[in-house]
Amino acid sequence: MEDQGAEYEPAKERGLTSMCGIAGVFRPAGRPLAAGLDEIARRMTAALSHRGPDGDGFLVDERRGLALGHRRLSILDLSEAGRQPMVSAGGRFVAVLNGEIYNFALLREELERTGQAPAWRGRSDTEVVLAACEAWGVRATIERCQGMFALAIFDRVEGVLHLFRDRFGEKPLYFGVIDGIFLFASEPQALRAFPGRPGTVDRRSLARLLRYNCIPAPHTIWQEFRQLRPGQGVTVTAREGQGAVELASFRYWRLVDVARQARAMPFREGPEAAARHLEALLQAAVRRQMVAEVPVGAFLSGGIDSSLVVALMQEQSDRPVPTFTIGFDDPLYDETEQALLVASRLGTAHTDLRVSAAEAQRVIPDLPRLYAEPFADSSQIPVVLLARLARRQVTVCLSGDGGDEVFGGYTRYIDGARAWRVARCWPRRLRHWLAGQLDRIGATTWARLERWLHRWFPGCVGRTLLADKMPKLAALLRADQIADLYKSMVSLWDDPAALVIGLESDAGAASIWPASFPVGSAETTEWAGRERAASNDWADRGGEWGEEAWAAFAFEGEGAAAEAMMLADALGYLPDDLLVKLDRAAMSVGLETRLPYLDPAVVEFAWRLPLGEKIGGGEGKRILRRLLARRLPGVRFDRTKRGFAIPLGDWLRGPLRDWADDLLSPTRLAREGFLRPEPIQKAWEEHRRGIRAHHYRLWGVLCFEAWLEAQR
C-alpha cells in the first residue's frame, strides 16, 4: 500500500541502555495547532527520554493528522529492522510498542504455517504484531498477544487509532483530549509537553491518593487526563469535516471473567498433580521471559516468590544468573542475609548492597521526577536503589511481584479473614455499638493506657500502638460486607475527602470528561473539544479498589473473605501501586522488569486451585512453598514478610523532621489551597510525640507536597 502523506524518520542509535516510551498526537481536520505535528511529537517524546535513550523515531502523517514518537528499548532485534514507529509489510498499519510480547515466536510460527507471513525484515515482536494485524485484524491479534505492553496501532485504511494496555497493567498508558486533539503517552509529563501545558489538579484524585497512597486507574492527578485500565483498549476516530474525535472504550480481557470461569472448573486431581502442573506453567513462563539479546538477571529478596523465580531461571541457564539484593544497616529491615543464603545454594552470581539511612534518604528529592504523578508507597525508595544496583550489570530483570496476589501471600488474607469470621458471630447492633465506644476513646487515652500496661505488664502489648490498633478494630466491627472490611484495611486516611479543600462543597470535581464516556464500558461518545463538567456519577465512577470484584462475584463459603481480597488486590493494589512503583523505578535507569507470576496461564490455573492450596495452616502460598522446598531443602521461609519496608516513622521523627516540618507547615498548606492544615497538623503532632504511628498517612501528604513543589 502506498504511504500517502507520511514522513518516517528511523530511530537514532545511541547504545543499548533503556526501556521504551511511546507518544502520539491525533488531530482531526480543521483543528489548529500551536506548533507543527512534528515539533509536538518531538517535545512529547523527549519527555520520555529516560525510558529509552537508545534512540528515538518518529512518523508524521500530516494528511491524516497523525504523529507518533518512540524512545527505543533495545532488548530484541537490536538491528535497524527493530526500529519504531514500524509500518506493516502491506503498509496498512503503523505501530509503536512499549514492552514485550512474550509469545511472539509462536505467533510468528503460526503466520508462517498458515501462509500469512510477510517477507520478514527482522526478528522483533513489533513486526510480528503488525503482520498478525494484517492477517487476523487488530482486535483478534491483541487477544492472542501475551506479554507486558502499551501499544498504539494506526489503521491507515479506516483512519482509526487503537490503544491497548496489557492484561495486568505492567506498562502504563495515559491519554487526553485537549482542544479536540487526542494525545497519548507512556507517562503524563509527556502529555503536559503539549503546547499550553494543560493541567489542573483533580481534587478527587488527591483524595484517592490520601486513601491508597497512589492514584487508581482510570484516574490521574490531572483533570484533563486519564489512563487505560489493565486489559483495556480505546479506539479513536477523527470525525472528518467536524473537527472532532470519537472515542470508544472496551475491555479485551478481564481478570474477573478469568477468575469466574476458573472457579467453575476447579482442579480436582490432588496436591501432587497440582504442583506438577503449576511447575510446568512457571517453567514455561520463566523461559519465555528470559528471552533477550542483552544481559538478564533477577531481583532476589530471599522470600518465597523471588527465590522460586531465581531457582527456575538457574535451572534453565547454562551460566550463573545475576541476582541483586538491597539491604539496610538496621537489621529489622535487612534482607541480605537470607538472600545470600538462597543465592549460594542456587549458585547465582549474587550482588548485594547495604545502604545507610542517609544514602536511602538521598533518593527522596528525586521521587517527584521519577514518578511524574504523586505516588506514596514508601518502599519506592529501596526499589529505586535496587534498580540502580541491577542496572550496572543487566538490562532485564525478572521479579517475584504478583506472587502474593495470585497465591495468597498477604497476612490480611489470613488474619483479616479470620477476624471477619469471628466478627460475624456477633449481632450487628452490638458490633456497631462497640465500634462507637472505641471511637469515643481518644489517641491520648490509649497512649496513657499503653504506658501503664508496659509498666505493670511488660510484653503484653506488641510493637503496634494501641492508638493504631483500636481504630482498625472499630472498623472491623462496623463492617457489614467484605467490601467494607477490605476498604478499612487498605485505607490510610479513613475520610480523605475531609482533608481536601473544596470536595465537600463541590462533590462533582470539575473535569473535561463527559459523563457519557465511562472508561471501561463499550459505550461511545463524540467529543468536540469543549470543556464540560462531569456529573457526580462520572466523577466517582471507577478507581475504587475492589469495585469490580464485589460487583462480579457473590463471594460465599469458608474462604470468601480471603478470595475476595485476593481478587480485589489483583485488580487494584497490584496495578495501581506495586506495578507503578516497579515500572517507574526501573525505567528511571533503563531497566526492563518482567513478572512470571503474571503469566495468564499461571493466573488462570491459580484460580482453579482449591483455596487450601494457597492459604491454610496459618500460612499463604502453600503450593509455592512445596515447589521451593524441593529445590532448597532445609531453607526456612517463615520469616516475617518485610515487603521492602523502611524505618519511615523513625526517619520522620529524626533526620527528615525539618523537611517534613517545612512541607507540612500550616501556612504553606493554607496558601496552596488543596489540603486542610488542621487534621494534618494533628496527625503530625501525634506522630512526633509517639502517640500514634501516622508515618504512612503523612507520607502521602508529603509526597503530594513535594510533587506540587516540583511543578513550579
Binding residues for ATP: 326, 399-400
How far is 694 from 215, CA to CA, in rounded Å?
Answer: 20
Place of cell 515466536: 105
Burial class (CB in 10 A: 0-12, 13-18, 19+), 32: exposed
How far is 243 from 180, CA to CA, in rounded Å?
Answer: 7
Asked if residues 414 and 425 have their Cβ atoms less than 8 Å apart, the reply is no
Helix (H, G, I), strand (E, B) or coil at 61: strand
How far is 478 from 472, CA to CA, in rounded Å?
Answer: 10
Q: Which residues are annotated as a binding site for L-glutamine?
A: 125
Helix (H, G, I), strand (E, B) or coil at 35: coil
Closest CA to 372 of 225, 558, 179: 225
Helix, strand counts (H, E) of the chain: 31, 21
Report in angstroms the alpha-carbon separations of 439 from 211, 435, 463, 470.
19, 6, 21, 8
Place of cell 531465581: 310
How far is 371 from 658, CA to CA, in rounded Å?
Answer: 23
How far is 19 from 146, CA to CA, in rounded Å?
Answer: 18
Closest CA to 622 of 635, 640, 634, 610: 610
Q: At what angle do helices 255-263 and 600-608 cross, to 10 degrees?
A: 40
- Which position among 20, 133, 397, 703 bears the catalytic label? 20
The answer to whether residue 397 is catalytic is: no
Helical residues (DSSP H) of 427-522, grouped into ranges: 428-440, 443-456, 466-478, 482-490
Closest CA to 87 of 36, 121, 43: 121
Closest CA to 61 of 129, 161, 172, 146: 161
Please identify every residue annotated as catalytic: 20
